[in-house]
């Protein structure tokens, strides 16, 4: 067993850390206030290969695995969770759906520009009436003129407004339940497909979250991903990989919050000494660091299994559950260690706390992760 990153993986980690410190850190609060994902940033992320991390070079990707991917998302989120979230939705949801289940033509047409960062991707599973229960999808696709007419809406879609490409599921045969759901690739130039209400959020504010609407949107059959009726199962498999990225996002947020607390505890003096000299504060720091390490190990375990082409449903859900709840606990303790200053926007602790909460909700809530884990345990 090897618990160290390889030299190359460590280099990737270092270069993303440097990038995040120089290109993201100075803008974190400005982007948070304006709820803006910078186009300029997307181009810089693309230059570093971060818009196509897990895809082969033949498709314009960086040809890396999930261990590198988790490390990259962690490093982005250590500085700004919003950037990590948007990059994750683009890579492991939208682009990976096309890479995993798309035809060669679909990969050439859609995956290559996504992986090169020329296009931005979004992924639509959630609907107003179908959240945790994604099988309750109401968006419909009806056969028409050799293609499909799609009607309905998706909400809470990351990158919904700035995306060029969206992969989304729709009901193609209601009688077949979740086996009657299919996946399609949409592009923004399609008539009848548009983004709608942008959410004004608690955290992850620089990551754009909005709804999309399909109004009799014609989609050619060549844009159907995989066979008819496979969309729900495909989405569940995509989430197995996506949850590793949310676990990594959580580890990064927790790490950033912990480092801020550690730094502050050494600077802040009360009762004539730095607060880091009080056992009450030291125990908090020790618990935070231990929980982060455990979350990182679970995340890297799931990532390594994915790279080894093993099933990761249980490990991805465990990593996502533990890491996201760790992020919430650690960032709350970071606010506590900062005292009143932690409650202000002059210090980074409050933003880590706000951002962390999304991690227990997106790509399946903590309750749903527990159901997934229990199902895996009971069938063993």
The nearer residue to ligand FAD, 209 or 334, going by C-beta atoms, is 209
Residue with tokens 């047409």: 109
Chain residue whose CB lies nearest ligand FAD: 131
Nearest to 108 by CA among 254, 222, 253, 267: 222
Give the angle 116-121-127 at the CA atoms, nearest 5°: 170
How many angstroms separate the CA atoms of 311 and 248, rounded?
18
Total site size for ligand FAD, rule CB under 6 A: 21
CB of 289 to ligand FAD, least distance (A): 27
Closest CB to ligand FAD among 330 and 372?
372
- Cα gap 207→213, rounded to integer Å: 19
Instruction: Assess 158 for contact with ligand FAD (CB under 6 A).
Output: yes
33 is an active site residue: no
Part in contact with ligand FAD (CB under 6 A); list of ranges 27-35, 156-164, 254-262, 340-348: 156-164
CB 230 within 8 A of CB 180: no
Stretch that binds ligand FAD, among 39-47, 120-128, 137-145, 261-269 (CB under 6 A): 120-128
Of the candidates 229, 134, 240, 222, the one whose C-alpha atom is nearest the C-alpha of residue 183 is 229
Stretch that binds ligand FAD, among 31-39, 68-76, 211-219, 363-371 (CB under 6 A): 363-371
Q: Does 196 bind ligand FAD (CB under 6 A)?
A: no
Beta strands in the chain (DSSP E): 121-124, 140-144, 147-158, 165-171, 181-187, 193-198, 209-220, 224-225, 269-270, 273-274
Least CB distance to ligand FAD at residue 368 (A): 6
Shortest distance, CB of residue 81 to ligand FAD, whole angstroms?
Answer: 10
According to the binding rule CB under 6 A, does residue 324 interact with ligand FAD?
A: no
* Smaller CB separation from ligand FAD, 94 or 300: 94
CB closer to ligand FAD out of 176 and 198: 198
In three-state secondary structure terms, 130 is strand
Q: At what angle do helices 231-267 and 349-356 cross, to 10 degrees?
A: 160
Q: Which residues bind ligand FAD (CB under 6 A)?
A: 89, 123-126, 131-132, 156-158, 201, 204, 209, 358, 361-365, 367-368
């Amino acid at each position: 067993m090897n618990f160290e990153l390889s030299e190359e993986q460590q280099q990737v980690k270092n270069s993303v850390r440097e990038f995040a410190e120089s290109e993201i850190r100075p803008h974190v609060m400005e982007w948070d206030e304006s709820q803006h994902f910078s186009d300029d940033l997307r181009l810089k992320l693309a230059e570093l290969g971060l818009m196509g991390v897990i895809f082969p070079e033949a498709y314009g990707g960086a040809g890396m695995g999930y261990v590198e991917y988790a490390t990259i998302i962690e490093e982005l989120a250590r500085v700004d969770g919003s950037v990590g979230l948007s990059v994750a939705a683009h890579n492991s949801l939208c682009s990976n759906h096309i890479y995993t289940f798309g035809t060669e033509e679909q990969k050439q047409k859609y995956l290559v520009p996504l992986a090169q960062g020329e296009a931005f991707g979004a992924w639509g599973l959630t609907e107003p009436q179908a959240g945790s229960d994604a099988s309750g999808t109401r968006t419909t696709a009806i056969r028409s003129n050799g293609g499909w007419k799609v009607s309905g809406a998706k909400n809470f879609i990351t990158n919904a407004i700035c995306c060029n490409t969206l992969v989304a599921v729709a009901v193609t045969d209601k009688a077949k339940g979740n086996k009657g759901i299919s996946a399609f690739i949409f592009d923004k130039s399609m008539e009848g497909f548009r983004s709608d209400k942008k959410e004004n959020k608690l955290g992850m504010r620089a990551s754009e979250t909005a709804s999309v609407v399909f109004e009799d949107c014609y989609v050619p059959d060549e844009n159907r991903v995989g066979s008819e009726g496979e969309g729900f199962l495909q989405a569940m498999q995509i989430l197995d990989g996506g949850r590793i990225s949310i676990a990594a996002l959580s580890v990064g947020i927790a790490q950033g919050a912990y480092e801020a607390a550690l730094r502050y505890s050494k600077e802040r003096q009360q009762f004539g000494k730095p607060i880091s000299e009080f056992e009450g504060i030291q125990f908090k720091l020790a618990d935070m660091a231990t929980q982060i390490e455990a979350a990182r190990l679970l995340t890297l375990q799931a990532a390594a299994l994915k790279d080894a082409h093993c099933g990761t449903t249980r490990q991805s859900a465990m990593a996502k559950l533990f890491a996201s709840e760790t992020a919430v606990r650690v960032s709350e303790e970071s606010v506590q260690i900062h005292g009143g200053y932690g409650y202000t926007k002059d210090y980074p602790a409050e933003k880590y706390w706000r951002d962390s909460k999304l991690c227990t909700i997106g790509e399946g809530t903590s309750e749903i992760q527990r159901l997934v884990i229990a199902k895996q345990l009971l069938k063993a």
